Amino acid sequence: MFSQFMFATGIENSYPTISGGRHRVDEMEKTKHYDYWSKDFDCVEELGIKVLRYGPPLHKVWLGPNRYDWEFTDLVFNDLKRRNMIVIVDLCHFGLPDWLGNFQNGDMPELFSTYAKDFALRFPWVQLYTPMNEMFICALFSAQYGWWNEQLKSDLGFVTALKHIVKANVLAMHAILEVQPHAIFVQSESSEYYHADNPDAIGPAECMNSMRFLSLDLNYGRRVSSEMYEYLMDHGLTRDEYHFFLKHHLKARCIMGNDYYVTNEHRVSPDGLTRPAGEVFGYDEITMQYYTRYLLPVMHTETNFEQGPRGDEAVNWLWKQWSNVLHIRNKGVPVVGFTWYSLTDQVDWDTALRENQGRVNPLGLFDLDRTIRPVGTAYKQLIKDWRAVLPTQSMCLRVPIIPPGLMVRESPWLFPDLRPTAPSNAEH
């Protein structure tokens, strides 16, 4: 059983649509992962990393109800299994196949759960899943900011997208557990905070600081505040839908993934407009807010920083993030992993993928020629230095992860079948 602290990276695989759905932003294509996937996995191993956040391109794999093109996915996942890589499988990363439309589609949750189950059946050695990546950000950017997918700018659109995304996540977890009883879910979610600019902005900031929790509140079956309950009811959530989340959550099978970037903190003006605040509280303070709310094991599932003109900007950010992880861990928070995201540079994230400009963002551990960056060298050394130190010797602070090579040989008593009763069709 793998019992080490989970040092990880990820392959950036966003694929939202923009321009009214006419253009698909495929980060795997832009970063040439389809051509250099084997080299990319070599780079992961070069760093000494044994855990990879990775997902198939949903829009290329899922061709219709019960119709799939597994060719590329079989190729890469068979190679990952050969390498004995522990994969946190990212099933949906900010976009849906064209035939399914967008996140306003109420049929999506049920259909997606079938896809998740079929994936788990095809790759039974996979244990860790993020069914829907960054649910709050996906709904916000797609249906309230008007940037991606349905490109709406309304509270009704936001709540509709959010309830469909979270329901898809919950149903997918149930479906995966039907065929993979060892499954653990690492719910990667953006950790946000909104700072009031002045006393008149306290009200809007408090509202936004409640809204940031909505995706995880619903996902983990936590009752929302009275203000958020009224907001949800006023903008499209029904009582039955709300009680679905309270009844069918799978919190006990989850690790809370907290993503943190320098863009995650915001200044709020009295009219409710926001602008970047930069790093004010930092990862440790904001993650403590999420941890005290949900009391789940934590994994730092995303961070990065641009390599600037000095060449050490990203290295310094890595040190700062790792120091934050050690800080909350020393305060008693059960932190089980850390991730620099992503392995390679990204493209067009300087505009949050809203513009198809082809601008390379130097955020990776490697550049797009697969040459290691200074932050990659620093991360490799950090892993070497700290791997033998973390976690503590207590088995209670270790995640029961079974590497791919052992998955089919493990005895059932090592990880008991905790599968809940699946929700009936009448309750969906």
pLDDT digits (tens, 9 = 90+) for 308-324: 999 999 999 999 999 99
Six token digits for residue 344: 């390679």
pLDDT at position 223 over 80: yes
Six token digits for residue 339: 């991730």
Residue 276's identity, in one-letter code, is P
pLDDT digits (tens, 9 = 90+) for 93-113: 999 999 999 999 999 999 999
Average pLDDT, the chain: 94
| pLDDT bucket at 338, cuts 50 / 70 / 90 | very high
3-state helix, strand, coil in the chain (%, to 5): 45, 20, 40
- Do 125 and 77 contact (CB within 8 A), yes or no? no
DSSP state of 222: P
Q: What is the pLDDT of residue 417?
A: 44
- Do 191 and 138 contact (CB within 8 A), yes or no? no
Alpha-carbon distance of 281 to 263, in angstroms, equals 12
Say which CATH superfamily domain 6-427 falls into. Answer: Glycosidases (3.20.20.80)
Say which residue the tokens 């934590």 belong to: 298
pLDDT digits (tens, 9 = 90+) for 198-220: 999 999 999 999 999 999 999 99
Tell me the average pLDDT across 76-92.
98
pLDDT digits (tens, 9 = 90+) for 368-379: 999 999 999 999
pLDDT at position 422 over 70: no
pLDDT digits (tens, 9 = 90+) for 236-246: 999 999 999 99
Alpha-carbon distance of 41 to 33, in angstroms, equals 10
pLDDT at position 411 over 50: no
pLDDT digits (tens, 9 = 90+) for 242-287: 999 999 999 999 999 999 999 999 999 999 999 999 999 999 999 9
Six token digits for residue 316: 């310094």
Q: What DSSP assignment string belongs to 123-145? A: -TT--EEEEESSHHHHHHHHHTS
Closest CA to 112 of 167, 183, 168: 168
pLDDT at position 412 over 70: no
Q: What is the pLDDT of residue 399?
A: 80
Instruction: Determine the 3-state secondary structure of 63 from DSSP.
Output: strand
Say which residue the tokens 């909505």 belong to: 214
- Do 8 and 338 contact (CB within 8 A), yes or no? yes
Q: What angle do CA 323, 326, 331 make, to 5 degrees?
A: 130
Instruction: Determine the 3-state secondary structure of 26 from DSSP.
Output: coil
Q: What is the pLDDT of residue 55?
A: 98
Q: What is the pLDDT of residue 421?
A: 47
Q: What is the pLDDT of residue 414?
A: 41
In percent, the amount of the chain with pLDDT more than 90 equals: 89
